[in-house]
A and B are shown apart, each in its own frame.
Chain A
């Protein structure tokens, strides 16, 4: 347990609505990541952060934005949810100088 929580754990929303997922860590790690998991694709990186207000895009960033105003929180926003964003979303953290990456419990999002 690397002190990572995600909220909500489950969400059902309608197409076109905005959705924000939260990742919270208790150990002040510098790096935070958002991945999505889909059958046949494994996990794919959406966005990541290397410090407060420092973020960058990953492999599948279209339709997503992120913010990190505090070290402990990394928010993922779907501005206008689409059915293709139905997925399980995982947050991860890693320490500066470490090659270990630890994952949160995930958020299952369904867009109807």
Chain B
């Protein structure tokens, strides 16, 4: 099956930039996603990128995709305490049966004062 790997933990100081990394193995991945999960909550879609793009920016979030190396990253500028959460990378390949996502194990981001 397809594997998606993420580091388990990241700790940053408030105001610094955070970079969360993800690698995947499925070369047929079409869309790649970043979700945020706060404690006890569901998953919030942050952003996603189509595989023919190499960068997408949305306010404080920048997604970089290196398709050759199958590497995806999420940069959060000016990280705040409210950004503390688990961040999941996910991908999908287009099929006739909808949008089935394969997730990484998640990276827990801790923002310290």
Main SS of the interface on chain A?
A: strand
Main SS of the interface on chain B?
A: strand
- A100 at interface, CB cutoff 8 A: yes
Complex contacts, B35 vs chain A, CB 8 Å: 103
- C-alpha gap A41/B97 in the complex (Å): 23
Q: Mark A68-110, 1 if CB is under 8 A from B, else 0.
A: 0000000000000000000000101010001111111110000
Known: A99-B92, A105-B42. A40 touches B99 (CB 8 A): no
**Contact (Cβ within 8 A) B42 A58:** no
Known: A48-B97, A94-B99, A99-B99. A42 touches B42 (CB 8 A): no
- Residue of B48, B98, B103 with highest tally of chain A CB at under 10 A: B98
- How many A-B contacts at CB < 8 Å in the complex? 63
Name A residues whose Cβ lies closer than 8 Å to a Cβ of B: 30-31, 33, 35, 40-45, 48, 50, 56, 58-59, 90, 92, 94, 98-106
15 pairs, A vs B, C-beta closer than 8 Å = A31-B99, A35-B103, A45-B100, A45-B101, A45-B102, A48-B97, A56-B97, A59-B102, A92-B101, A99-B30, A99-B31, A99-B99, A100-B45, A101-B101, A105-B41
